[in-house]
Structure 1
């Protein structure tokens, strides 16, 4: 009986270790995604807001730039391994599309629902506080999405072979 309990405890420890490792990978992948998204999102929001664009134009620019910077940050180390541009783009699309999409949906929705955030202007604390909060909320919501994807060998899991 004791041997069976020890075996169960060992199996549980192994599963706990795998889950925590998967969570760490998801947090790392989401932080990587957040870097590209934040660069594009902030740049797009600042440009659109400074130019007095309507919300739709500002958001479209922010989303487009988030995808460009997000994919670029994934492609850069992959390209350095000697893989071709089209293959590196394929890796970036597979690795980051869902993550960036979720992050952009959440952070832009957050910006739109905070009263006055989009109209506040780049000199306003409301604009910057809402933008920072929107990225933090997007991070928290995207971690489990990335965990799910990585656990199934999808999303950022496809780029890991190029990082070493």
Structure 2
């Protein structure tokens, strides 16, 4: 059976790492905010997810704006480049944290909090890299950004 077309694995891994960086910043900030204010799990996770998308898009916006594109065009590029990647990453990493016993109730000073978060990011990276490889190989996802660098 022929292998499906895709981008080189290194390109996909770099795109995923770029996405993971923004997602991790937002996710950690959201979890810290929710935990510090003693919010319940649902509002904490919603805050973390919203901030993950915000920071994920922000990294791409910054790069594309710096390359000289206008704001409206940069927003379109960021949405096209990152939406699927961030959505997959968020679905995976939040699912992993939810499946780790006690992780949702762990505090900021608990090793379980940070350990489950690190595990969730690692699993999300492994799951999202092939998705990004498939999209880039078809001219979608981060391939859209590379046309503007």
Q: What's the TM-score, normalizing by structure 1? A: 0.85
Q: Which runs of 4+ in 1 moved over 6 A?
A: none
RMSD (Å) for aligned C-alpha atoms: 1.4
Spell out the pairing of 1:87-102 with structure 2 (5 A cutoff). 87-102=73-88
Which structure is higher in helix share?
1
Q: Which consecutive residues of structure 2, in runs of 5 or more, have no partner in the other structure?
A: none
Structure 1 or 2, whichever has the larger Rg, is 1
| C-alpha distance in structure 1 between counterparts of 2:85 and 2:132, whole Å | 6
Kindly indicate whether the alpha-carbon contact (under 8 Å) linking 1:41 and 1:66 is maintained by their aligned counterparts in 2.
yes
Q: Deviations over 1:91-150 (max 9, x none)?
A: 000000000000000001111111111111101000000001100100000000000100
Aligned counterpart in structure 1 of residue 70 of structure 2, from 84, 90, 94? 84
Corresponding position of 2:34:
48
Return the offset for 1:55.
1.0
Corresponding position of 1:159:
145
Corresponding position of 1:145:
131
Q: What's the TM-score, normalizing by structure 2? A: 0.94
Aligned counterpart in structure 2 of residue 123 of structure 1, from 109, 113, 118? 109
| C-alpha distance in structure 2 between counterparts of 1:81 and 1:115, whole Å | 45
Corresponding position of 2:55:
69
Task: Identify the structure with bigger relative contact order (alpha carbons < 8 Å, sequence gap 6+).
Answer: 2
Return the offset for 1:80.
1.2
| C-alpha distance in structure 1 between counterparts of 2:96 and 2:121, whole Å | 9
